[in-house]
């Protein structure tokens, strides 16, 4: 078990690469940078493959058992030290390990993250060849790989959060890679801030779990959740899972926190492919899938996840219909596909959601890398209105992107078809039709997806050339380092889906079976789901397969219809073509083109930049208003009370001084002083005065007797 025991090395390869870049990168040759950074990821990938194959053997001997390696205890100990009080008043030791866990779920994530990551690193050596800050770019990419692998391999929520924050940081750094561009730095800030809102949810969820379960290790939490100690629908678990989902919404760009992802396209295209399409944005899905034991105990949270996912899917897809920036279309497509994944998780089809993450990683990375290749060929032009007719000029890019488009649109035989269809089928069949509305949304989204992807391909590779002559002259196919990853990804975009070939098509659903130990539900949860399941099963008994075939047929029809409509609308697009939606319903087009004015609404509601006169709008305005209210009304009242007290004090002091002391106390004193004056002069205290009185007395006596 050489490799399995050392899975903690996997994140350290790219960490080493990042460290080398940060300390010595500036002085290194490009070839050295390539060797270190790409080499680190290749090593991580090879190591992952070896460890994964060993894990398969391990699992064969210990069915359903995850493999854990505790490197060291990072915070607290198992026995004591840092204690905290659980919800029931009992003390629990707080501990967080630097521990790593390999099970089917993290294994799959590891494989595609290192695999796709490796391809994108190779691609970047070509794409970034002429850019400044080459070493910086690769340092960030490696740092990202380190964080992402930490997130995936963590065996507890705390270490997962470390990776979670790490990928957020790298996302920020890479979106703002062209930091001299104002739009890029603001987009980076936006991504960071919006993610922070989600992270707050994740943290609170984590605290709630610690408070309720007394541990943050996945295995402990799962064990307790399966123990039957907690009821289904437990309000605390519902709250915890909803908070975790807020975190997932931030990282995985779901309503209402999706706004950062489209702007994240300011980063270099390989970054969009790696971070904002294939890997990082699926972290939210991973976290929810990782916490599946909690989510199944909270049906309300599951419903929330499903509904948010479905709404995000159709919301983003509808915006994608009319965007003109090639990367922006793909960005909204990513948001929409992430919505699909959450829809799958929400209806309890965790395996289907993970399957879609897996296939999506390949075809969406391919689409982004392909769009990067197109932008490369177009000398930096990203606006599809200025493209067209590129198909025969950059054939490899065209063919591979076409494969990815067919995959994402859901054409049978390609990867996206199997995973997306699985999700739609699960949405239809779960909960006895309660979610059929969600299926309908998913179905409509599938139609839109086919249309906007068709539009992207037709406007870029078919139709009439609309670029300037200078650019047209420069169009060239990308170098090998860029096309080779495209071809490999195209291969996977076709065949990755066959891993999960469903029963109805003669497969064995191997993907879901492999994940079964992770998502195994205990008996009572199944029983709680039973009544609705039974009702559904009764109906489906007769036509499960026929139903599945019918739905499959419908979604295939939708895929072809979408692509066909796009072909019909745009195949002859020349300079100054009109959008069919703009022609048919201008207000709707305006609404979609401006992304439902969500950014503007947020601008009004949260950023505090909008003002009417001197009054700030939104939350900041509310804050300012509260502050004004506080400093003027509350403090004013306090001050008024103070003034009144002071006035009363002055009055009282005046009364005391002049009336009480002056009249009532000093008055009698003064009076007696006045009255006593005649008496007092007898005791003047001046000896000579006495003598004078005696003299006058004597004179008086003598005079009296003399003249009597």
Contacting residues toward other proteins, per CB under 8 A: 683-688, 691-692, 695
Nearest distance from C-beta of residue 652 to other proteins, angstroms: 34
Closest by CA position to 44, among listed 109, 130, 110, 128: 110
- Return the number of the residue (634 or 699) whose C-beta is nearest other proteins: 699
**Cα of 312 vs its chain's centroid, Å:** 14
Is residue 154 within 8 A of residue 99, CB to CB? The reply is yes
CB of 682 to other proteins, least distance (A): 12
Residue 319 and residue 375 in contact, taking contact as beta carbons nearer than 8 Å: no
Residue among 2 and 687 whose Cβ is closer to other proteins: 687
Which residue, 87 or 701, is less far from other proteins as judged by CB? 701
Minimum gap (Å) between residue 653 Cβ and other proteins: 32
Instruction: Provide, rounded to whole angstroms, the least separation between the CB of residue 700 and other proteins.
Output: 14
Tokens of 65: 């058992």
Helix (H, G, I), strand (E, B) or coil at 321: coil
Q: Which is nearer to other proteins, 480 or 680 (CB)?
A: 680
| Nearer CB in complex with other proteins: 585/691 | 691
Residues in CB range of 241: below 8 A, 6 or more apart:
205, 291, 294, 295, 297, 298, 301
- Nearest approach, Cβ of 707 to other proteins (angstroms)? 18
Residue 69 sits at φ, ψ, to 5 deg, of -125, 120
Exposure string of 264-284, with b = 16+ CB inside 10 Å and e = fewer, is bbbbbbbbbbbbbbbbbbbbb
Q: Which is nearer to other proteins, 90 or 688 (CB)?
A: 688
Question: Residue 298, class by beta-carbon neighbours within 10 Å (0-12 exposed, 13-18 middle, 19+ buried)?
Answer: buried
Q: How far is the CB of 675 from other proteins (least distance, A)?
A: 18
Cα(117)–Cα(122) distance, integer angstroms: 9
Query: Given the complex with other proteins, which of 663 and 691 has the nearer CB atom?
Result: 691
CB nearer to other proteins: pick between 640 and 695:
695
Q: Which residues contact 516 (CB under 8 A, 6 or more apart)?
A: 64, 351
Smallest gap from Cβ 697 to other proteins, in A, equals 13
Helices (H), 348-414: 350-377, 395-409
Query: From the CB of 676, what's the least distance to other proteins, in Å?
Result: 12
Which ranges in 507-629 belong to alpha helices (H)?
510-519, 523-570, 580-584, 586-593, 598-602, 618-628
Is residue 493 a contact partner of residue 404, using CB atoms and an 8 Å limit? yes
For the bound state, the minimum distance from the C-beta of residue 689 to other proteins, rounded and expressed in Å, comes to 9
Q: Which residue's structure tokens are 């930096």? A: 380
CA distance 67 to 58: 8
- Whether residue 266 contacts residue 273, with contact meaning beta carbons closer than 8 Å, is answered with no
Q: Which is nearer to other proteins, 87 or 690 (CB)?
A: 690
Query: Which residues, listed in sequence order, are joined to residue 102 by a DSSP beta bridge?
Result: 67
Shortest separation between residue 683's beta carbon and other proteins, angstroms: 7
Dist CA 642 CA 644 (whole Å): 5
Q: Which is nearer to other proteins, 23 or 684 (CB)?
A: 684
Q: Compute the least distance from the CB of residue 684 to other proteins, in Å.
A: 8
Closer CB to other proteins, 642 or 700, in the complex: 700
For residue 56, what are its two tokens?
Answer: 């398969």
């Amino acid at each position: 078990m050489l490799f399995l025991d050392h899975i903690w090395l996997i994140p350290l390869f790219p960490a080493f690469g990042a460290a080398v870049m940060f300390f010595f990168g500036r002085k290194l040759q490009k070839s050295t940078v390539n060797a270190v950074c790409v080499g680190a990821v290749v090593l991580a990938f090879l190591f992952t493959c070896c460890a994964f194959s060993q894990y398969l053997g391990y699992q064969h001997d210990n069915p359903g058992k995850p493999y854990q390696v505790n490197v060291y205890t990072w915070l607290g100990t198992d026995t004591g030290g840092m204690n905290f009080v659980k919800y029931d008043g009992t003390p629990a030791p707080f501990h967080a390990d630097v521990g790593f866990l390999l099970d089917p779920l993290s294994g799959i994530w590891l494989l595609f993250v290192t695999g796709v990551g490796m391809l994108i690193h190779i691609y970047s050596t070509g794409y970034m060849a002429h850019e400044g800050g080459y070493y910086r770019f690769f340092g960030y990419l490696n740092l990202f790989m380190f964080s992402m692998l930490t997130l995936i391999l963590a065996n507890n929520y705390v270490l997962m959060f470390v990776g979670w924050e790490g990928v957020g940081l790298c996302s920020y750094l890479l979106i703002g890679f062209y930091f001299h561009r104002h739009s890029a730095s603001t987009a980076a800030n936006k991504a960071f801030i919006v993610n922070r809102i989600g992270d707050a949810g994740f943290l609170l969820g984590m605290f709630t779990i610690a408070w309720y379960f007394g541990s943050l290790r996945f295995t402990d939490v799962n064990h307790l959740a399966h123990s039957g100690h907690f009821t289904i629908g437990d309000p605390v678990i519902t709250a915890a899972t909803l908070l975790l989902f807020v975190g997932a919404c931030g990282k995985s760009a779901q309503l209402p926190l999706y706004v950062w992802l489209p702007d994240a396209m300011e980063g270099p295209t390989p970054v969009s492919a790696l971070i904002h399409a294939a890997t990082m944005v699926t972290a939210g899905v991973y976290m929810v899938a990782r916490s599946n034991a909690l989510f199944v105990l909270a049906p309300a949270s599951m419903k929330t996840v499903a509904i948010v996912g479905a709404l995000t899917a159709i919301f983003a897809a509808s915006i994608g219909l009319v965007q003109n920036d090639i990367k922006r279309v793909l960005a909204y497509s990513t948001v929409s596909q992430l919505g699909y994944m959450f829809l799958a998780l929400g209806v309890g089809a965790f395996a289907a959601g993970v399957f879609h993450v897996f296939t999506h990683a390949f075809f969406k990375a391919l689409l982004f890398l392909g769009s990067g290749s197109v932008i490369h060929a177009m000398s930096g032009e990203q606006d599809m209105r200025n493209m067209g007719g590129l198909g025969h000029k950059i054939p490899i890019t065209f063919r591979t992107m076409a494969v990815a488009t067919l995959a994402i649109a859901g054409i049978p035989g390609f990867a996206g078809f199997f995973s997306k269809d699985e999700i739609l089928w699960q949405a239809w069949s779960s909960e006895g039709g309660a979610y059929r509305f969600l299926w309908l949304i998913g179905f409509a989204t599938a139609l839109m997806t086919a249309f906007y992807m068709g539009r992207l391909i037709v406007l870029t590779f078919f139709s009439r050339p609309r670029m300037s002559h200078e650019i047209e002259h420069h169009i060239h196919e990308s170098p090998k380092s860029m096309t080779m990853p495209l071809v490999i990804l195209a291969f996977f975009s076709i065949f990755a889906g066959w891993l999960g070939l469903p029963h109805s098509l003669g497969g064995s659903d191997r993907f879901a079976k492999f994940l079964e130990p992770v998502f195994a539900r205990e008996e009572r949860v199944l029983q709680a789901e039973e009544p609705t399941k039974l009702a559904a099963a009764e109906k489906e008994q007769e036509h499960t397969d026929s139903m599945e075939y019918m739905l499959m047929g419908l979604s295939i029809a939708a895929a072809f219809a979408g692509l066909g409509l796009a072909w019909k609308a745009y195949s002859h697009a020349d300079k100054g073509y009109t959008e069919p939606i703009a022609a048919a319903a201008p207000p709707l087009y305006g609404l979609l083109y401006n992304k439902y004015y969500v950014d503007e609404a947020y601008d009004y509601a949260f950023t505090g930049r909008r003002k009417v006169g001197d009054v700030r709008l939104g939350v900041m305005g509310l804050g300012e208003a509260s502050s004004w209210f506080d400093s003027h009304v509350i403090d004013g009242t306090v001050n008024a009370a103070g003034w009144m007290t002071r006035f009363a004090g002055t009055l009282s002091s005046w009364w005391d001084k002049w009336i009480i002391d002056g009249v009532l106390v000093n008055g009698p004193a003064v009076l007696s002083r006045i009255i006593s004056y005649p008496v007092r002069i007898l005791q003047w205290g001046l000896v000579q005065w006495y003598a004078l009185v005696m003299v006058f007395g004597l004179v008086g006596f003598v005079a009296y007797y003399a003249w009597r």
